[in-house]
Structures are given as structure tokens and as C-alpha cells.
Amino acid sequence: MTKQDPRKILVIGGVAGGASAAARMRRLDEHADITMLERGRDVSFSNCALPYFLGGEIEDADTLRLLDPQTFWDHYRIKALPLHEALSINRQEKTVRVRDLQNNVETDMPYDLLYLSPGASPIMPKSIEGIDLVHVFSVRNVQDVEKIAEWLDTKQVKKAAVIGGGFIGVEVMENLVEKGLQVSLIDMAPQVMMPFDHDMAQFLHKEIVDHGVELILGDGLHSIQEDGVTLQSGKKVAAEAVIMAIGVLPEVKLAKEAGLAIGETGGILVDRRMRTSDPSIYAVGDAVELTHFQTGQKTKLALAGPALRQARVAANSENDMAEMVPDVVGSSALRVFSLNAACTGLSERACRAEGIQYQVAFVVPMDKVGIMPGASPVFFKLIYELGSGRVLGAQAVGQGAVDKRIDVIATLLRFKGTILDLKNIELCYSPVFSTARDVVTMAALTACNISDGLVKQVMFTQLRDLHEEGALIIDVREADEYALGHIKGAKNIPLSQLRERLEELPKDQPLYVHCRSGQRSYNAARALMQLGFEEVYNVAGSFVALCWYEYYQDKTQGRDPIVTAYNFE
């Protein structure tokens, strides 16, 4: 092509994927004729920030809009056309049938290259009675949250039901609570946030119920009424507003009708350069099928970061800068009131599904030096492969910077690093930011100790079963700590007195040793193993993790606590 004969580049869909592809194409080709179509009102907005408008953290909806059509033209010479819907693709003629939704006029737009970024649409099952009622909403764009906010204010809504405990559901729930509403969060799964394992989700459950939310799990939506919802169990939940957040489906109708290949997960099939089965058509974002870096399995991932990387690769591919988009590991983070949560790579659930033999190291160190103001514990779970020690994934929950710890693991995953590599990584340190041995280092050291046979462990999640079986549980905290709350029936022998009281411990039965977080009890376990006690197990996570883990289940199931008092510090 020459300057007199510029390439015609048509982009369907704006926001992260489409807008980024269009902007990258302009930076690589100043002469291209680039047009971007967006079915909605806004061509570029921060969809990840939408829930935070509902709680007032983002005060003005206009700030959610990142670039308007005039700015696209002024800065990039891109013709951005909102309220223009792509109806069909004629691959032989290389045209797209487009409807101007404002004027109800249809035209055919030619292209040399076509980029698809249709995104994913919220699941709104028509089979659910009442799904079309006026007080039922989804969250996909700025207009959606504006409508929700207007309904909440004009109707003076006091109670809301959020259906779905994934990212959008939890974030909407948090923001509605911040707005002062009484909220019910409902999910048919046994936990919120399925990328996390069940044990880690319990920390989030406690935080949710502590903020007055009615958390209903294991019970799906049956129908919606004007004054609330009815669940599959028959339970009725009062609500003047219902937010649907049960998931999304890739928008592949346009691609499918054009005869483009669709992958096994239902997303648009693309190669490592984001090219579809038609060499003139690329696809990026939530609508495409991806490959998981660790398992090789096909997957979908509705996250902004991967969409931006895909858009760059797709644009580079047509400008003599061919590169391959990396497979995904699924790194993500969210805030739940005062807690932050993040995860990357494989969970225990995923490892079991893939038949991967794995081990877990679980630690509860402080996020910064304990004497510093604001220091708080981090619940950190490291998952690694048995034998090789290859790190498979990690999850973290705490009030501090859990995201940066998970980012370290996400980086390590890309290079197939092991627990030995993680143990030796040199990280920044200052008392205001971390401890000299950072959270991830502590997890790696624990994993190495387990792999080297220096300690045997049980998880804090096993303590209820051990308690009910009458196992001998040894609490090595000091007497004043024990008095504030302990496992019923546990024997208190502080670490400072352990060597003088060995005669109180039998050598013919297993000993399960715990402290506050698992560090003192590790020292106790090491001593006992060298003093003639063979069956000694350190309780990973120990008492503080146990209290967080048991709290929500005790409260919701009405069961008898195994602790005399919860201690969350």
C-alpha cells in the first residue's frame, strides 16, 4: 500500500481490546484509514471501575469515560463511531454491514483488515421468571451503572439482591453496602470467587458477613418478583433492586454467522497472533478462546490485561513485527471491604482436575515489620508440584499489599520457576513495605522445609476433624494468649517451657502442634522430632487462620465452635 492507497482498517468494538488495537495500528501506520465501531454510547470507558460509581468512590460517571470520538480523531485520526452496530460480515467482498442506530440507516463499510473486539455479554437467562422486570439490572457499561444509580436514588431503595459471587457481583455488593443499602449476595456455588480455593474463600466470607451482608451460598436463583427474589430452595429474599452478575458469555454471533471458526469453549478461535480462521480478520478480548500456560487446556478469560496484550500483538502482526501472544495464567485481584485478595496460576481445585500431584505451603506472616503502624497478617497459600518443586500457583488475602506478592509468583510462573528459585529471589525491603523475609520468601522456605522432610504438616482446615477424633493438639503459645481463646481440649505447653515438660507428651501417638501463625509451632515440631517424638505435625496457618476459617461456617451452619473464643489478630 502507498500513502495514496491507505489500508482500510475496521475495528468492531471499543473499550480495552478494540480501542487498543486501533491506537496501536495508528502508531504503526500513520497513513491507514482506521474506523472503530461501537454499538454502545461510549467508545472507551473503564469497565473494571463501573461498580465503584455505585458506591460513590467514583463520584462522576463522566470520569468513567476515557476517550470520546473527538479525542480519538484529534489524537489518533481514528474515526470512532458510537451507536453503530455491525450486523454482518461479507468475507468475500470484505465489507461489514453496519447500522447507524441513531438514524436507523444501514451501509456497507469496506475493509482490508478487520479487528473483532465484541466482548462478552452478561448472562440474563430468559428462563428465569421476572428477568425482564424494570428493577433487574446487569453491569456492562456506563449506561448500566447510571441506570442502577438512578433507580436506587429515585426509588429510595433500601434492600438489594446481587446474584453471583464473582468479581462483578462481589464488587457491586461492596459498593451497595458502602452506599448504605442492606444487601443479599446470592450464589449457587458453595463459595464466592471460584478462582480461589474454598479455604481461602472463607476469609472473604467472614469479611462479607461482618459488614452486614446476607451471604447465601449453594442456592441458585429461581424467579424474580417486584419485591424480591425466590431461590431454588424456596427461600424468599426481599429486594427492591436485583443486580445480575452470574457470569458472561462471549459475543460470537457475528463471527459465527460469518463462518469463522469457533473454539471448543465457545470463544472465537485464534492463533498465537490473534488471527482468526480468515487471514484478514483478527479477534481480541473477552470473545476469544485462549490457552492456559500451565495446563495447555483451552479457556476464556474476561480480564483487561490480557485483552490489551492481545490487541498489541494483533496490530503488530500486520506491521512486520510478528510476535506471539503469551498463554494465560489468570492473575487477578480484588478488594472486599478492608481485605485485599489476589491469585495466580493453578488452584488446588485445578490441580486435582488436571491430575497434577501437588503440595501446599501455607503461611501467615505480617505484611510489614510487626512494630510498624498498620502491620497486618497475610494469609498466603503457595501451590507447587511434588518432586520437581515447580511453582504452580498462589493465593493471598490480607489488608496489605497482597497483589505485589502474587505478582512475584505470576512472574515466576512465566519462567517455570521452582520453590528454590523463589527462596532465592532478592526483593526490596524496608520496614514500612515488608519484612526482611518477605511473605513469598517465607512461603518458599516453608515449602523447602516440607520437601526436605524437616517438618510434616496438616492444614488448619483439618483441625475440626482432628478435634472431633480426639487427636492430641498441642498449643505452644504463651498462657496469656491461650487464655484469650484456644481450641477446646488443646493442651497448652508454651514453646518457652516445652523442653522442660517433655514428660507430659506421649511418644506413641501423633502430636499436632500449633501456635498463632505456625512459626513457633514449626520450631516446636523441629525440637520434638529431634527429641524422640516421631509423629509430629505442624499445623499450617495455626490458630489465627483457624478462627477466620471456622467463623463463617459456625455462624451460618449453627454448629458448635471448636474454639473457646475467636481471635482474628
d(CA 55, CA 102): 32
**With contact defined as beta carbons under 8 Å apart, do 384 and 392 qualify?**
yes
Residue tagged 487477578 (cell numbers): 332
Helix, coil or strand: residue 497: helix
**With contact defined as beta carbons under 8 Å apart, do 15 and 80 qualify?**
no
H runs (alpha helix) in 160-268: 167-178, 198-210, 253-257
548: Cα separation from own chain's centroid: 20
Residue 515 among the catalytic residues: yes
**With contact defined as beta carbons under 8 Å apart, do 513 and 525 qualify?**
yes
**With contact defined as beta carbons under 8 Å apart, do 187 and 217 qualify?**
yes
d(CA 53, CA 59): 6
Helix, coil or strand: residue 387: coil
In the β-sheet with 33-38, what is the strand arrangement from edge to edge?
Answer: 78-82, 33-38, 8-12, 113-116, 281-283
H runs (alpha helix) in 155-302: 167-178, 198-210, 253-257
d(CA 279, CA 207): 49
Distances in Å between the alpha carbon of 192 and those of 85, 242, 526? 35, 18, 37
Residue tagged 488495537 (cell numbers): 21
**With contact defined as beta carbons under 8 Å apart, do 492 and 513 qualify?**
no
For residue 391, what is the enclosing H or E element?
strand 391-398
- Residue type (1 letter), 14: G
* Annotated active-site residue in 343, 351, 448, 515: 515
In the β-sheet with 105-110, what is the strand arrangement from edge to edge?
Answer: 84-90, 95-100, 105-110
- Residue type (1 letter), 196: F
Which residues belong to the active site? 515
